[in-house]
Structure 1
Amino acid sequence: MSETKSGKHPKGLFKLFFIEMWERLAFYTMLNVLLLYVTDFERGGLGLPSAEGNEIYGLYLAFVYFTPFPGGMIADRYLGYRKAVLIGGLIMSAGLFLMSQGETYFYYGLVGLVVGNGLFKPNISVMVGNLYEPNDPKRDAGFNIFYMGINIGAFVASFLSSAVRNKFNWEATFLVASIGLLVGICILMFSWKSLERADRQPEKSADDTGFGEVFLKILLPALVFGALGFWLSSTFMPDGPVRPAIVGFLAGMIPIVVFFVRLGVTAVEKERPGLLALLPIYVAGGTFFMVLHLNGSAMTQWANDTTARDIPAPSLFQQDGLPSYYGNANEDVPRPNLSSLVVVEEEKVARMYGQKRMDHETLAAVLAANPDLTLEEFDPLVEVTQLEPDKAAIWQFSTAIYPDGQLEVVEGTDAHGAPTVSVNVPEKLSADRRVALMRTGADGAYPTYVVSQATIVDLYDNYEERFGHPPEQLPPGEWVQVINPELFQSFNALFVVLFTPMVVGFFAWLVGRGSEVSTARKIFYGLCLTTASLLLMALGGMFSDGGHAKVSGLWLVGFYGIITIGELLLSPMGLSLVTKLAPKRLVGLAMGGWFLATAFGNNFSGFFGGIQSSMTPVNFFLVLAGITAVVAGFIYALLDRLDAAIKQSTQ
């Protein structure tokens, strides 16, 4: 008697559960800090402007959801599922390792993650389905268990990324994620034989949409349109409101949209209603994921800039609140002692220090202007893990020193006209010193932090103007302890785990009462909840005084609570409708359309994150709420047609 018929889930399910849990742990460990790392200018990040950092985030997430489309076809026709998952996992682990080597290999690492994810993500889900017979009633429960592994990994990732970067540095976070992925790959290798039933031999069918056909009709036109859009934007609108890379991606989506519209319009009469009904489902899915995946862009920026994070927490998940935290901090938050700061006139010098990339000439100028400073020297190759705790605490305030004339300093302005500085290290250039700038007080020596004169005005003069008295100052060398902004992302995964049985139970109760809610109507309700979550944030924006005051983290908790219920209504229902509305021979292609719609929305997550700072918080969230409300109204107007199409497709 097989396991599936004996009432037990297949043993392979729990092996795939742990493989996926480790992969998602690695994926979200990196993703949670991606935007923070590329825009950070205080803790050794890349220091890129917000718009550029959000562009990287949005394009990365867009391509992460684009590559499963060809990746699934490659597994079907050439590799099989186990090999695809194995190869994809190894490529992703290699990509994360490259990211851990610093900015020189950062972008190569992102490409590796995109390619590897395309092979891993779609095919491990297919393997779960293959463990069950087609009509096995335990299949849905099996996917629920598998989905739990995804969210356990995502939940733990926020705490892991926070702890690792607090204790070590940004690059260590990527290295730990790479190792986590290898753990999942080891589980796959040890389970290779037992997962054979979840695999299939690569095969081609006459009924399949050929890979060559997909390339010629979808991928090649998308590539041509994307390149053309990027060139036109770079040539004629290089400083336009939408960055060229985003324009290129959106242009590349045009032939894809045309393909799926024509697929429905030209279908035979029996298949046409279902295929046309998929189009508004794609719109709903793309809109929802545009908002949900703001969690790593706009919502993380909100957590970093506008959320009061000076709350009690285990020390592992706390970090020093560095100067940028205090500009809009509340009245009762003490400011750093002036002696903890080294004031320089040029913003460029302060940013070089914050990004941990200075040259000898700049260091000499700072020392000459501040003769009371002494240096704590470190071996430039030493790892913080090799240091005693007291030395490790000082090392966090140290900066690498490079030969003169070698660093590339890129200066610009952000949406508010404030200066931005990014310091790039040429490939193969190594630091020849690492130093911390020290002062000595009554209790001994302590590390200092370099800031510009404009920061001093923001922290002290503006405080007195705002509150009518000078700020309380911390003792020299001490900083307010704040929790990491990425920790708030864990609430989405936590609420998925907590709310799933409640939502499932609620709709089962409605069915028992004879008040079943249609799948299409659940999608409509999901969009309504998404709109409500954004309206809640707009209300929080009112209390932030246009971003000039920090507000409680409970606004973010409420946002994630509401949108998670929307996710449970919309995301699985969208996937379900794809399988119901598409003809069996086109289910794979239609599922690819769902992933592509998600990619489209993800790109807009980066775009809106990039323009967030140019709008007041209230206006920003109201614009997003307006977009989702319009799409919700669009779905509501089509409910009867969608229900009819579903009924016809399932007969």
Structure 2
Amino acid sequence: MVADEKKIFGHPRGLPWLFFIEMWERLAFYTMLNVLLLYAKDFERGGLALPSGQANEIYGFYLAFVYFTPFVGGILADRMLGYRRSVLIGGLVMAGGLIAMSVPGTTFFYSGLVLLVLGNGLFKPNISVMVGNLYAAGDPKRDSGFNIFYMGINIGAFLASFLSSGIRNTYGWLMVFRVAGFGLILGVIILLLGWKVLAHADRQPEKDPNDAGFGAVAGKILMPALVVGVITYVIANKFIPDFAVTPATMGFIIGMIPVIIYFIRLPRTVSDKERPGMFALLPIYVAGGTFFMVLHLNGSAMTQWAADDTARDIAAPAAFQQDALPTYYKNAGEDVPRPAEANLVVVEDPAVVRMFGQKRMDEQTLAQITARYPELELRDFDPKAQATDFSGEEAALFQFATAIYADGKVEVVEEKDAHGVPSYSAKIPEREPALRRVAFMRKTPGGEVFPTYLVTQDSFDEIYSGYEARFGHPPEQLEPGKWLPVINPELFQSLNALFVVAFTPLIVLLFGWISARKNVTTAQKVFYGLCLTTVSLLLMALAGLASDGGAMRVSGWWLVGFYAIITAGELLISPMGLSLVTKLAPKRLVGLAMGGWFLATAFGNKFSGFFGGIQHMMSPVAFFLVLAGLAAAVAVFIRLLLPKLDAAIEGLS
């Protein structure tokens, strides 16, 4: 492969093509990811109503395998497919996964996640390798090229938060996945249009007789990992099913040991000249995994913090606001008005509330509610109607409607959350048609009709008598039919991407100015990034202190500060990590080495889900201090190894 000599603003002409391909792919990826946990655990707006621990486990496993499959995808690209073809196939498979998720039913939901995992394994590592391949060895523009590429990632991620919020508020959860699939298709189209230009970033698959072939990797690494993981899961599920670490998580961690051993031993299989660089990658993997464990809390613990502990009654365009439904008020402040009592319909059975929240109910339950509350009127919609069929007031009303199924078709399953508190999930057979779709309506004394929401007696008391017990006077109530508008919790995730776009040119200019006076190595930037990661978590520990252990919602400025600091750290770790992989690995193994980087990220991501699942078992202060301690320990580890890392990088220059 020969580097492309044609330049655009000093960079290879293939960089803009890869920038926009990645931007659209990341737009699609984060549009779905922003709402994944919320959709899985939601029981108020038609979500899956899974217990918080299970929803976080899905989130963690999805992100873990999204970053594990690049290990295989890198090998396939290196030795069989090449980079362009791998990216093309991966993009098409991911688009198929998002379209599958947009079809109602848990089978399509899980099938879509599997397709996303497989497609990402081919797409993600190899487009990053293509960026590195645009540059000749020793080209000083390489680091800034990765910074520019990283900006494309985060422009997509920034837009995704607003896209997912606006779409789900207006058209519901499933439309979010359809729109994300369309974004991925656009990225694939750009790849095809730039196919010839990107030939300079590709290379023919190459094999070395001293390297293990794909069959050997599968037989000696992947298969043992699968066998060990399954055996661990079976044993844990039988003997310690209620342990703090779930059997599935144990299976994943223990099952990954053969893969970890492979990467630890890999440097011993290369030539003496290549060995220092390969050994230097190992601590970089540790740093990357730790950082992404914290960063990807944005979709688990930090989004839960935004939903449960952040005051979200903030002025914003209507498209990015939603009604504050009953759970919002359990720790809302004294100045937050509560909904009118007439907005709520009290039912004794919490399973019925979950059925209503999931927008699925049987005829018998409907009859029981109308018999108890004869003043309720039913507003009928076409049972096949979708949110896209309505606009204005009709669209707002449709969000309170629930589908009615024949008796015996709705199964209410009782489960327990991480605290042992029972929760309920209403399940229906795949593709079961609804008989009706109705909203429960009441009238004001003036004759105005408005929709109501079903709650348990405990929730009702929490909103009104609980307020009076906390503040010593009855709450201010909104007009009947009105709800407090609050911004979507996932919007806070956009801050990370916003700060990446804003800070990237500043970081590039800052280190350009510093480098003219003092050499700051790539490894040193990684160390500084870990220090900033630690500081961001210490800030959130202070936020936990301000929340009085979650008893009151706190300002969103805490999250703004967290994302600003951790983003500065991200710009010193993530693009530098990608750059180091392409620097330190031999050319024939750079795809595999990039897979190792994403494997480390997979470990971190799995623990993002794990920590999100145990978040409410700890006080907020303790939770964030534990994470800060882990980040600080890895920062010290990298600082101790800096001389050896710098020497290894210098030796390859």
TM range, normalised to the smaller chain?
Answer: over 0.9
The separation in 2 between residues aligned to 1:639 and 1:291, in whole angstroms, is 22
The aligned counterpart of 1:108 is: 111
The aligned counterpart of 2:164 is: 161
Map 1:259-270 onto structure 2 (within 5 A): 259-264=262-267
Residues 566 and 85 of structure 1: CA distance in aligned 2, closer, same or farther (over 3 Å): same
The aligned counterpart of 1:51 is: 53
Q: Give the partner amino acid of 1:508.
A: G
The aligned counterpart of 1:418 is: 421
Alignment counterpart, residue 482 of structure 2, candidates 478, 500, 507: 478
Q: Give the partner amino acid of 1:4.
A: K
Q: Give the partner amino acid of 1:457.
A: D
Alignment counterpart, residue 184 of structure 1, candidates 184, 187, 196: 187
Q: Give the partner amino acid of 1:44.
A: G
The aligned counterpart of 2:215 is: 212
Query: How far does residue 240 in structure 1 lie from its aligned partner after superposition?
Result: 1.3
Alignment counterpart, residue 501 of structure 1, candidates 502, 505, 509: 505
The aligned counterpart of 1:611 is: 614
Listed one character per residue, the Cα deviations across residues 150-181 of structure 1 (whole Å, up to 9, x for unaligned) are 11100000000000001110001001111111
Query: How far does residue 429 in structure 1 lie from its aligned partner after superposition?
Result: 1.4
TM-score normalized by the length of structure 1: 0.95
Comparing 608-617 with 84-93, which one deviates more in the overlay?
84-93
Comparing 390-399 with 475-484, which one deviates more in the overlay?
390-399
The aligned counterpart of 1:99 is: 101
Query: How far does residue 92 in structure 1 lie from its aligned partner after superposition?
Result: 0.8
1:125 aligns with 2:135: no
Alignment counterpart, residue 488 of structure 1, candidates 451, 475, 492: 492
The separation in 1 between residues aligned to 2:553 and 2:269, in whole angstroms, is 54
Alignment counterpart, residue 17 of structure 1, candidates 11, 19, 26: 19
Secondary structure at the aligned position of 2:45 is classed as coil
Residues 249 and 641 of structure 1: CA distance in aligned 2, closer, same or farther (over 3 Å): same
Query: How far does residue 133 in structure 1 lie from its aligned partner after superposition?
Result: 4.4
The separation in 1 between residues aligned to 2:459 and 2:4, in whole angstroms, is 68
The aligned counterpart of 1:36 is: 38
CA contact (8 A) 1:207 1:585 kept: no
Query: How far does residue 273 in structure 1 lie from its aligned partner after superposition?
Result: 4.4
The aligned counterpart of 1:82 is: 84
Query: How far does residue 264 in structure 1 lie from its aligned partner after superposition?
Result: 4.3
Listed one character per residue, the Cα deviations across residues 15-52 of structure 1 (whole Å, up to 9, x for unaligned) are 33222211111100000000000000000000001110
CA contact (8 A) 2:232 2:255 kept: yes
The separation in 2 between residues aligned to 1:256 and 1:160, in whole angstroms, is 37
Listed one character per residue, the Cα deviations across residues 286-325 of structure 1 (whole Å, up to 9, x for unaligned) are 1111000000000000000100000100111001111111
Query: How far does residue 223 in structure 1 lie from its aligned partner after superposition?
Result: 1.1
1:595 aligns with 2:602: no
CA contact (8 A) 2:146 2:575 kept: no
Q: Give the partner amino acid of 2:235.
A: L
The separation in 2 between residues aligned to 1:637 and 1:83, in whole angstroms, is 41
Alignment counterpart, residue 470 of structure 2, candidates 453, 466, 472: 466
The separation in 2 between residues aligned to 1:281 and 1:617, in whole angstroms, is 29
The separation in 1 between residues aligned to 2:130 and 2:276, in whole angstroms, is 30
Query: How far does residue 500 in structure 1 lie from its aligned partner after superposition?
Result: 1.5
The separation in 2 between residues aligned to 1:2 and 1:530, in whole angstroms, is 37
Secondary structure at the aligned position of 1:327 is classed as helix
Secondary structure at the aligned position of 2:413 is classed as strand
Q: Give the partner amino acid of 1:418.
A: V
- Indicate the structure whose relative CO is greater, using CA pairs within 8 Å and at least 6 residues apart: 2
Map 1:404-553 onto structure 2 (within 5 A): 404-441=407-444, 442-513=446-517, 515-553=518-556
The separation in 1 between residues aligned to 2:585 and 2:129, in whole angstroms, is 17
The separation in 1 between residues aligned to 2:278 and 2:143, in whole angstroms, is 24
Unaligned runs of 5+ in 2: none
Listed one character per residue, the Cα deviations across residues 182-228 of structure 1 (whole Å, up to 9, x for unaligned) are 12222223333444444334443435442122223321221111111
The aligned counterpart of 1:172 is: 175
Secondary structure at the aligned position of 2:443 is classed as strand
Unaligned runs of 5+ in 1: none
Aligned residues: 649
Q: Give the partner amino acid of 1:612.
A: Q
1:311 aligns with 2:291: no
The aligned counterpart of 1:345 is: 348
Listed one character per residue, the Cα deviations across residues 551-581 of structure 1 (whole Å, up to 9, x for unaligned) are 0000001000001111111222333333444
The aligned counterpart of 1:147 is: 150
RMSD of Structure 2 on Structure 1 (CA):
2.1
The separation in 1 between residues aligned to 2:231 and 2:500, in whole angstroms, is 41
CA contact (8 A) 1:412 1:419 kept: yes
The separation in 2 between residues aligned to 1:253 and 1:387, in whole angstroms, is 48
Alignment counterpart, residue 641 of structure 2, candidates 638, 641, 648: 638
Residues 285 and 433 of structure 1: CA distance in aligned 2, closer, same or farther (over 3 Å): same
The aligned counterpart of 2:357 is: 354
Query: How far does residue 12 in structure 1 lie from its aligned partner after superposition?
Result: 3.6
Listed one character per residue, the Cα deviations across residues 590-634 of structure 1 (whole Å, up to 9, x for unaligned) are 332211111001000000000001111111111111111122222
Residues 351 and 2 of structure 1: CA distance in aligned 2, closer, same or farther (over 3 Å): closer
